[in-house]
Chains A and B, each alone.
Chain A
Amino acid sequence: MMMTPLNPPVLSVRDLRVGFGETEAVHGLSFDIHRGETLALVGESGSGKSVTALSILRLIEREGGQITGGSIRLGDTTPEEITTLPPAALRALRGDRIAMVFQEPMTSLNPVMTIGAQLAEALRLHRGLRGGAARDAARAALERVKLPDPEKRLDQYPHELSGGQRQRVMIAMALSCEPEVLIADEPTTALDVTTQAEILRLIASLQADMGMAVLFITHDLGIVAEIADRVVVMKDGVKVEEGHTADLFAHPRAPYTRQLLAASPRLGEGSPTPLDGAKPVLQVTNLTTRYGGGMFSRAGSVAAVRDVTVTLGQGETLGLVGESGCGKSSLARSIMRLVEPSAGEIALLGTRIDGLSRAALKTHRAHIQMVFQDPYASLNPRMSICDAVTEPAYLRGMVAGKARRDLAVDLLERVALPADAVDRYPHQFSGGQRQRICIARALSVRPRIIVADEAVSALDVSNARRVTDLLADIQQRDGVSMLFISHDIAVVERVSHRIAVMLKGEIVETGPTQQILTAPQHPYTQRLLSAVPRLEHQRAAQRRADMSTEANTLETA
């Protein structure tokens, strides 16, 4: 079997070096992409994958970077050297021959221009279309990405569309001039799994129609397995491994690739065995929380949490899964009474805490502690680690004076951070370390329950794996219960004894983890599970790779 197809590459990157001032972010990267091929550029944050993507269009110069060496050639017959292209020629190529789709659909469209106007811009520029012709072409572009009601969409503004719809518009915009290369930089990372599955299918089918090459940048190996023909694995600005998707997943050679594969969450990895007859520490009955509907609000109130009943046993982890906006976080906040529930009962360690006054609530608050999603935003940058991790205990009068330091050292040890971290400040730590600090802070008051709200979603796979392992250890040792909220079912599976699936404010299904994953009852759970990208799906990709290799062999034979 050949490693690469024999026809000349449409995009060829050789020994690319990109620097930001004195520091180099990409150190001599080389790869090729061919017509109709999908190449995945994989790596964790800081690996240089997005820098590489932005360098291909030389947009990196706008972000303060500079291509310091190497070459980027576009075109399979008479290749053009992008690194030395004058500005006008570069602009002519952007959006026409190479187009790009970005990660964040919510912010990547201009909020004060209609969808139609934004689509027409590229068509006018590269195709010379104006007025009615531009509008027709823009409508056709929206039809191509299967956005319902394209005529109406043309006159709408981005804020009137959902995230998935906006990403479709972004793709329509990128493909409007039928580029030879599409660069997709984490295009589905900000989307829910079901929307992600739709967008991935869309890109694949458009690629099949149009024959473009796709450079797909992602950190998610599940996605890579499903869509990529070949993979380039990057770490710290260097390519550590390259190969056909199936080969690479079956026989990873580089230690880092193996590490990445091992760390990647995948469904069916097994979950903790359910606890029998665990004593309930938290009982939530018929809880409803409404937002809005105030005296001056014309819109009625919206129930973010509707009639939810859940129980959490001692030493148990309950995974709460659902898409963004389904009410997971609202439920957690209602349980902690950070927002006021409008109906229902909450019993903590057998005591009703709904309806308690703020003062009366105070003694109960220490029993539940929370770990938030963004470790960068949830630590006060001006507080030393010692003060930060001991603050809850200090506020409750459990520790004071010199003892704070001893407690801090002890807490840091429990989350596997060195004792000398106590005198440092949050900015001196990485994302994963910060999340450990947040966990240490939660532990300072010896809580009975920890609520982890998307606590590992902002972390790279290897850091996420370490943090969930840590949480499991803490649970083993201290018998603490956990409410683990995540949109990522694979992560939830790894840590949860039981799973509750949430949809539009209601819990539609609850059960032991294995039962939910192997025999989901509710159609929504089934849909959610089938949308999760899986490493096992690589067979499909492998078949595709074999076919394209065969086709090329035939062509050249």
Chain B
Amino acid sequence: MIPYVTRILVKSVVTLFAIATVTFIATRLSGNPIDTFLGDGLTTEGRAELIRYFQLDGSLWQQYLAFLRGALSGEFGLSFVDRRPVTEVVGDRLWASGQLLLASVGLTVALSIPLGILAALYRRSWVGSAVMMLAFTGYAVPSFILSIVMILVFSYWLNWLPVVGNATFAHFIMPTIAMSGVLIAALTRFTRNAMLDVLGQDFIRTARAKGLREARVVLRHGLGNAGVTVISVIGLQVAGLAAAGSVVVESIFSWPGIGQLLVNAALIRDYPVLQFGVITVAVAVVIINAVTDLSYALADPRIRLARS
């Protein structure tokens, strides 16, 4: 187990370094930020001074080395806009995004695993068809459409739910559903297929031949095995959600999270915020992946024991 964990850690560090580099290059490709947010009315000297102040002088290579040096010592620079360290700017937003992500993952797991099992067990009856129909529909609706329809129905017409912010539990309902919609659909389908696959295997017949109740056959022997593959998919999907889903949904619902921050930072070329924001998301993705790998190993003794 120890070498396995070490390998995951090394892989994670390499990934993070690559992402930091790509982010740095991508932001530099998009032009000089001083011109974007100060633009007209700036004297040549004033411009040069600002460039020095924000350490945008020097070759790209020098800037990159400075960026790496800073990153290693935890210094990611100041936000161009509000002149605070980016670690603070992003840190303020972290919890809001984390809450939304946890709520979405919780909802996804709570709904899609039972639904997937139902769809597998009753695949020949209307129950299975209904679940799969819902899943296909959910899969086909993008989160921004789902968000707009929900806002129209529940806020504009019925006036039940608030749209902007994250103050109360009611604020969570629509963003959580918007974030997890596609995920629930995907994971339901996946759980169903994994369960169908496992339930057709020989050891399920062995379990039934022992006289076990159907519930135990399905949950202990069936889900116990299907779970191994389901975990890996949850990990992948959650990582994707952390990276991409939050940007759209947070923008729509003005959720004070990292996704919204990133969109704004990109629009005004606030490099330090953008860089650190992306790195933060990358760290989250890498952590989620590492946890997935570990839980995968914990759930499947063939992996756990082979790698120990």
Q: Quick one: given A110-B203, A110-B225, are A59 and B208 in contact (CB under 8 Å)?
A: yes
Looking at the assembled complex, report how far the CB atom of A143 sits from the nearest CB atom of chain B, in whole angstroms. 20
A104 at the interface (CB under 8 A from B): yes
B305 at the interface (CB under 8 A from A): yes
B300 touches A112 (CB 8 A): yes
B228 touches A95 (CB 8 A): no
B211 touches A96 (CB 8 A): yes
A112 touches B301 (CB 8 A): yes
Partner of A59, one of B201, B209, B220, B301: B209
Bound-complex Cα distance A164 to B207 (A)? 20
Bound-complex Cα distance A111 to B306 (A)? 13
Q: Quick one: given A107-B202, A108-B203, are A94 and B305 in contact (CB under 8 Å)?
A: no
A91 touches B209 (CB 8 A): no
Q: Which residues of A contact B300 (CB under 8 A)?
A: 111-112
Contact with B along A493-534 (1 / 0, CB 8 A): 000000000000000000000000000000000000000000
B224 touches A112 (CB 8 A): yes
A102 touches B210 (CB 8 A): no
Looking at the assembled complex, report how far the CB atom of B86 sits from the nearest CB atom of chain A, in whole angstroms. 39
Bound-complex Cα distance A91 to B228 (A)? 28
B210 touches A111 (CB 8 A): no
A104 touches B209 (CB 8 A): no
A6 at the interface (CB under 8 A from B): no
Looking at the assembled complex, report how far the CB atom of A298 sits from the nearest CB atom of chain B, in whole angstroms. 8
B52 at the interface (CB under 8 A from A): no
Q: Which residues of B contact A173 (CB under 8 A)?
A: 206, 210
A111 touches B205 (CB 8 A): no
B205 touches A94 (CB 8 A): no
Bound-complex Cα distance A126 to B221 (A)? 18
A125 touches B212 (CB 8 A): yes
A94 touches B208 (CB 8 A): yes
Q: Quick one: given A94-B210, A112-B228, are A59 and B205 in contact (CB under 8 Å)?
A: yes
A145 at the interface (CB under 8 A from B): no
Within 8 A of B (CB), among A109-160: 109-114, 121-122, 125-126, 157, 159-160
A111 touches B211 (CB 8 A): no
Looking at the assembled complex, report how far the CB atom of B207 sits from the nearest CB atom of chain A, in whole angstroms. 7
Partner of B211, one of A91, A104, A112, A113: A91
B213 at the interface (CB under 8 A from A): yes
B209 touches A112 (CB 8 A): no
A62 at the interface (CB under 8 A from B): yes
B83 at the interface (CB under 8 A from A): no
Bound-complex Cα distance A378 to B84 (A)? 67
B209 touches A100 (CB 8 A): yes
Partner of B212, one of A104, A111, A121: A121
Partner of A93, one of B205, B211, B213, B220: B211
Looking at the assembled complex, report how far the CB atom of A88 sits from the nearest CB atom of chain B, in whole angstroms. 9
B299: nearest chain-A partner, CB-CB? A112
Bound-complex Cα distance A91 to B216 (A)? 12
Bound-complex Cα distance A93 to B212 (A)? 10
A99 touches B209 (CB 8 A): yes
A310 at the interface (CB under 8 A from B): no
B210 touches A108 (CB 8 A): no
Looking at the assembled complex, report how far the CB atom of A511 sits from the nearest CB atom of chain B, in whole angstroms. 40
Q: Which residues of B contact A121 (CB under 8 A)?
A: 207, 210, 212, 216
Q: Which residues of B contact A110 (CB under 8 A)?
A: 203, 206-207, 221, 224-225
B206 touches A170 (CB 8 A): yes
Q: Which residues of A contact B216 (CB under 8 A)?
A: 121
Name the residue among A62, A96, A110, A114 with the largest chain B CB count within 10 angstroms: A110
Bound-complex Cα distance A112 to B301 (A)? 6
A113 touches B206 (CB 8 A): no
A62: nearest chain-B partner, CB-CB? B208
Name the residue among B203, B220, B225 with the largest chain A CB count within 10 angstroms: B203
Q: Which residues of A contact B302 (CB under 8 A)?
A: 111, 157, 159
Looking at the assembled complex, report how far the CB atom of B154 sits from the nearest CB atom of chain A, in whole angstroms. 42
B202 touches A108 (CB 8 A): yes
Q: Which residues of A contact B299 (CB under 8 A)?
A: 112
- Which range contains the number of A residues in contact with the other chain? 20 to 34
A400 at the interface (CB under 8 A from B): no
Bound-complex Cα distance A160 to B202 (A)? 18
Q: Which residues of B contact A108 (CB under 8 A)?
A: 202-203, 205-206
Bound-complex Cα distance A87 to B93 (A)? 56
Within 8 A of A (CB), among B240-259: none
B301 touches A111 (CB 8 A): yes
Contact with A along B193-207 (1 / 0, CB 8 A): 000000001110111
Partner of A62, one of B205, B210, B301: B205
Within 8 A of B (CB), among A275-327: none
Q: Which residues of B contact A170 (CB under 8 A)?
A: 206
A442 at the interface (CB under 8 A from B): no
A102 touches B202 (CB 8 A): yes
Within 8 A of B (CB), among A31-64: 57, 59, 62
A339 at the interface (CB under 8 A from B): no
Partner of A157, one of B205, B213, B224, B305: B305
Contact with A along B203-239 (1 / 0, CB 8 A): 1011111111100100011001100100000000000
B305 touches A160 (CB 8 A): yes
Q: Which residues of B contact A157 (CB under 8 A)?
A: 301-302, 305
Bound-complex Cα distance A437 to B13 (A)? 55
A210 at the interface (CB under 8 A from B): no
Bound-complex Cα distance A126 to B302 (A)? 30
Q: Which residues of B contact A547 (CB under 8 A)?
A: none
Q: Which residues of B contact A100 (CB under 8 A)?
A: 206, 209
Bound-complex Cα distance A125 to B225 (A)? 21
Q: Quick one: given A110-B225, A159-B302, A160-B305, are A95 and B203 in contact (CB under 8 Å)?
A: no
Bound-complex Cα distance A114 to B220 (A)? 12
Q: Which residues of B contact A113 (CB under 8 A)?
A: 220-221, 224
Q: Which residues of B contact A125 (CB under 8 A)?
A: 210-212
Partner of A95, one of B210, B220, B224: B210
Bound-complex Cα distance A100 to B203 (A)? 12
Looking at the assembled complex, report how far the CB atom of A109 sits from the nearest CB atom of chain B, in whole angstroms. 6
A551 at the interface (CB under 8 A from B): no
Looking at the assembled complex, report how far the CB atom of B104 sits from the nearest CB atom of chain A, in whole angstroms. 28
Q: Quick one: given A102-B205, A159-B301, are A112 and B210 in contact (CB under 8 Å)?
A: no
Contact with A along B175-208 (1 / 0, CB 8 A): 0000000000000000000000000011101111
A157: nearest chain-B partner, CB-CB? B301
Q: Quick one: given A92-B211, A112-B300, are A102 and B206 in contact (CB under 8 Å)?
A: yes
Looking at the assembled complex, report how far the CB atom of A229 sits from the nearest CB atom of chain B, in whole angstroms. 24
Bound-complex Cα distance A173 to B220 (A)? 17
A123: nearest chain-B partner, CB-CB? B210
Looking at the assembled complex, report how far the CB atom of A542 sits from the nearest CB atom of chain B, in whole angstroms. 32
Name the residue among B202, B206, B208, B300 with the largest chain A CB count within 10 angstroms: B206
Looking at the assembled complex, report how far the CB atom of A153 sits from the nearest CB atom of chain B, in whole angstroms. 14
Bound-complex Cα distance A91 to B201 (A)? 19
- Going nearest first, the 10 A-B pairs with the smallest beta carbon separation are A94-B211, A95-B210, A95-B211, A107-B202, A157-B301, A91-B211, A110-B203, A100-B209, A122-B210, A108-B202
Extra contacts besides A93-B211, A107-B201, A110-B224 (12): CB < 8 Å: A57-B209, A59-B205, A91-B211, A95-B211, A99-B209, A102-B209, A108-B206, A110-B203, A110-B225, A111-B225, A170-B206, A174-B209
Which residues on B are within 8 Å of A, measured CB to CB?
Answer: 201-203, 205-213, 216, 220-221, 224-225, 228, 299-302, 305
Provide a sorted-by-A list of 28 A–B residue pairs whose CB atoms are within 8 angstroms: A57-B209, A59-B205, A59-B209, A62-B205, A94-B209, A95-B210, A95-B211, A95-B212, A96-B211, A102-B209, A108-B205, A108-B206, A109-B206, A110-B203, A110-B207, A110-B221, A110-B225, A111-B203, A111-B225, A111-B300, A111-B302, A113-B220, A113-B221, A121-B216, A125-B210, A125-B212, A157-B301, A157-B305
